[in-house]
Amino acid sequence: MKNNKYSSLFKAISEQTALPDNAVIADLGCRDASFLLAFQEAFPDKIKSAIGVDINDKDFKRVKYKKPIKLKVMNCAQKLEFEDNTFDFVFTKDMFECVSDKDFLVSEIYRILKPGGAVICVNCDWDSVVYNGENKELISKAVHAYAVTKQPWMDDLDSWIGRRMYGFFNQNKLFESTVSVHNVVETEYKEGTFGYDLSCDIAWLYKENTGALSEEEYNEFIENLKTAQANGQYIFSKPYYICKAVKL
Ligand SMILES: C[S@@+](CC[C@H](N)C(=O)[O-])C[C@H]1O[C@@H](n2cnc3c(N)ncnc32)[C@H](O)[C@@H]1O
């Protein structure tokens, strides 16, 4: 996770991660396991076994992983296929918003954690994403429309998931919970950045005829970003809420 767009976020996460020796860890909604690999790199002598699960395996081959990492297809909206008190550490990033019964998933994470084990749950608050550019109304419309428009593969969608996660873990007093926010800030509009990639994803709104943003509006949105970049005024910022909850 060095020298890529996730570096600063992973640093903020790993600073809050404390693993015991021979730690057994899991990543729920791991996609290509890149965060599991980053944990392995950051804590090379601590991890005994690591399992990444995702509802589909289409990205499992994208990253080279080896022991102690295993990957498995699993639907985290259902009872997790793990024994009680299995894990020292559970990580999950940008997956909770896809699951409709969040309280059930929290109870499942509680069940599979060992007493004293910790979960770190990281979520972008999509409705708080910021781009600078001339046309405030249009830029806000594009960001908000993308945040609140459910894509077909999602079981659920909550554009405020970042600010809500702490409450999901804290409300039942089963965990000792803390929360912090890591803001990713970019000042260049170029390929490979969060801001550039998100601006490309937003095209989905007109390509799929969602009615949330027209092609003309999308093109003007992109022009706004390019102009801001050309004038040295481009800013993109994205808040990641990092919720840490320790099983009592
Ligand atoms: C936005 S991606 C985040 C991937 C990865 N955690 C990361 O941050 O790089 C969401 C991931 O959650 C997975 N996912 C969505 N719903 C899921 C479910 N019910 N059970 C397991 N994985 C799920 C998706 O397949 C996808 O890989």
Ligand 1 centroid, distance to 55 Cα (angstroms): 7
The answer, yes or no, to whether any atom of ligand 1 lies below 6 A from the CB of 94, is yes
User: Euclidean distance between the first and final Cα of the chain, in Å?
Assistant: 31
From 13, 25, 54, the mutation candidate for ligand 1 (largest count of ligand atoms within 8 A of CB) is 54
C-alpha dihedral, 13 to 16 to 20 to 25, nearest 10°? -30
Q: If residue 221 lies in a helix (H) or strand (E), which one and from where to where?
A: helix 215-230
What average pLDDT does range 11-16 have in this prediction? 97
Distances (CA, A) of 20 to 79, 118, 147: 26, 11, 37
48: which 2 tokens? 């005994």
The answer, yes or no, to whether any atom of ligand 1 lies below 6 A from the CB of 102, is no
Give the type of residue at 69.
I
Q: Whose CA is nearest to atom 4 of ligand 1?
A: 31
pLDDT value of position 2:
72
From 10, 27, 36, 98, the mutation candidate for ligand 1 (largest count of ligand atoms within 8 A of CB) is 98
Residue 3: pLDDT above 80? no
pLDDT tens by residue, 31-50: 999 999 999 999 989 999 99
Residue ranges of domains in the chain? 7-247
- The Cα–Cα gap between 214 and 69 comes to 43
238: which 2 tokens? 């994205």
- What is the number of the ligand 1 atom nearest to the C-alpha of 75? 20
Place of tokens 């405020």: 160
pLDDT tens by residue, 118-162: 999 999 999 999 999 999 999 999 999 999 998 887 888 899 999
Q: Whose CA is nearest to atom 12 of ligand 1?
A: 29
- Decide: 87 and 120 in contact? Cβ < 8 Å: no
pLDDT value of position 68:
86
pLDDT tens by residue, 173-195: 999 999 999 999 999 999 999 99
Q: Under CATH, which architecture does the 7-247 domain have?
A: 3-Layer(aba) Sandwich (3.40)
